[in-house]
Structure 1
Amino acid sequence: MSLTLWLTFLVAAVLISLSPGAGAINTMSNGMRYGVRRSMPAILGLQLGYGAQILLVGAGLGAIVASSTIALSAIKWLGVGYLVWLGISKWREPVMESMSDDHQPVSGHKRFWNAALVNLTNPKATVFLVALFPQFLVASEPHGPQLATMGMTLILVDCLVMLGYALLASQLFRFMTTARRQQQMNRVFGGLFVTAAVALASFKRT
């Protein structure tokens, strides 16, 4: 892959990661409640799910999933159900008794796998990658190294963008000094997760 082609792909990767989605909502929710450092397990979980999608497409299975109505529908509705569950859980999440001490924090291990499932059950990512990769593959060169380069670029860029989202969200932490404000913010993020579920439910292949 030439430098010019890679730079073009890099721009596409940045735009993809910056676009709001379930992953960004998950990261902002964690960033606001736990801060940047403690959001890392969730951010890494998102990259695991994203990496699995990239491997799926790179191995050629993404095209099969994208062309199978049953398989794509199953993944889609699993993702819808999971996002709704996250939304309800966030809506009902108890407030912190002290802003300097999260009384009963969700473990990093649980947040890691919750985030991984957010990206893993997103059929938009599969369909998008199936459409994206062929645009940048050079037919006369080995595909493996090219896919590896694009995959690593996507994950690195997404990781950096999610860190940015977590940093921005963590600035809200200083304002969450009352239980009422915390409850309102939990319900905002809960509503955003459900909104993402509705958007996913209405997703149709073109």
Structure 2
Amino acid sequence: MDIQSASFASFLTAAAIVCFTPGPDMLYVLSFGVSQGRRGGVSAAVGVAAGMAAHAVLCAFGVSLLVSRYPVLLSAFKVVGLCYLIHLGVSIIRDKSNMAVSVVRARQHCGRIAYRAMLVNLANPKVIVFYVAFLPQFTSSSGWPMPAQLLALGAVFVVIGFAADASVGLLSGALAQRFTRDKGLTRKVNIGCGIVMFILAAVLAFDV
């Protein structure tokens, strides 16, 4: 049985459940959607998808499996991701500027937001372990070569994940329009988004 058989339907169901269940990546996208508008939310979703795609490629060619076997490397990824999330949280809370949902500012920061989101996703060791444990379950020794099967499954997973995250980015971005002229609410949103980064750092630190 290969990925063109009935097992592919099971994969789609499992992938949809995983992707549409709220988690660290979705919270990250939501925070940028609220603080930067629709473009910011979608940009964060693009970055997360880019990280997922990189993990899929690494999984397909065995790199993720190698990394997952060495606790020291996993710990290094965790420390990098933890420090980066804390840095983002502090930066957002210290930002006292007005909320940016204008087209001009959003375009200036789209690439940077996507890049940050990609780094956060890549630095999460739990994502590495997830790909190694999840994707191979839906492959077969017959049919396509194993790397090809893993790449195909990874691509589908990235598409589903992007659809979920982009939806959250658009919806949260729509909410941001309500705060554009209220400096008090803008400040509260920045603090809230910074706290989200700290929560994500705690999730990564304590593996919850």
Q: Same fold (TM over 0.5)?
A: yes
Bigger shift: residues 163-172 or 14-23? 14-23
Quote the Cα distance in structure 2 between the aligned partners of 1:89 and 1:14: 33
Quote the Cα distance in structure 1 between the aligned partners of 2:84 and 2:63: 23
1:20-169 map, 5 Å: 20-96=22-98, 107-141=109-143, 142-169=145-172
**What's 1:181 paired with?**
185
Structure 1 residue runs of 5 or longer lacking an equivalent are: none
TM-score normalised by length of structure 2: 0.88
CA contact (8 A) 2:92 2:193 kept: yes
Displacement after TM superposition at 1:38 (Å): 4.5
CA contact (8 A) 2:25 2:48 kept: yes
TM-score normalised by length of structure 1: 0.89
Amino acid of the structure 1 residue aligned with 2:73? A
Quote the Cα distance in structure 1 between the aligned partners of 2:60 and 2:37: 34
Structure 2 residue runs of 5 or longer lacking an equivalent are: none
| SS at structure 1 position matched to 2:66 | helix
Answer yes or no: is 1:190 the counterpart of 2:194. yes
Quote the Cα distance in structure 2 between the aligned partners of 1:129 and 1:178: 42
Displacement after TM superposition at 1:195 (Å): 0.8
Displacement after TM superposition at 1:96 (Å): 1.5
| SS at structure 2 position matched to 1:164 | helix
CA contact (8 A) 1:137 1:146 kept: yes
Find runs of 4+ consecutive structure 1 residues off by over 6 angstroms.
Answer: 101-105
CA contact (8 A) 1:36 1:163 kept: no
Displacement after TM superposition at 1:88 (Å): 1.1
Bigger shift: residues 174-183 or 191-200? 174-183
Displacement after TM superposition at 1:74 (Å): 0.3
Query: How far does the alpha carbon of each residue in 1:141-190 deviate from its partner, in whole angstroms, 9 at most, with x for none?
Result: 22133112211111101111011101221232233131111111111111
RMSD (Å) for aligned C-alpha atoms: 2.2
Amino acid of the structure 2 residue aligned with 1:74? A
Identical residues among aligned pairs (%): 28
Query: How far does the alpha carbon of each residue in 1:7-52 deviate from its partner, in whole angstroms, 9 at most, with x for none?
Result: 2111221222223333212211222233324543322221111111
Change in Cα spacing, 1:49 to 1:100, as seen in structure 2 (3 Å) is: closer
Amino acid of the structure 2 residue aligned with 1:42? A
Quote the Cα distance in structure 1 between the aligned partners of 2:125 and 2:45: 19
CA contact (8 A) 1:21 1:196 kept: no
1:3-22 map, 5 Å: 3-22=5-24
CA contact (8 A) 1:22 1:193 kept: no
CA contact (8 A) 1:96 1:103 kept: no
Change in Cα spacing, 1:22 to 1:143, as seen in structure 2 (3 Å) is: same
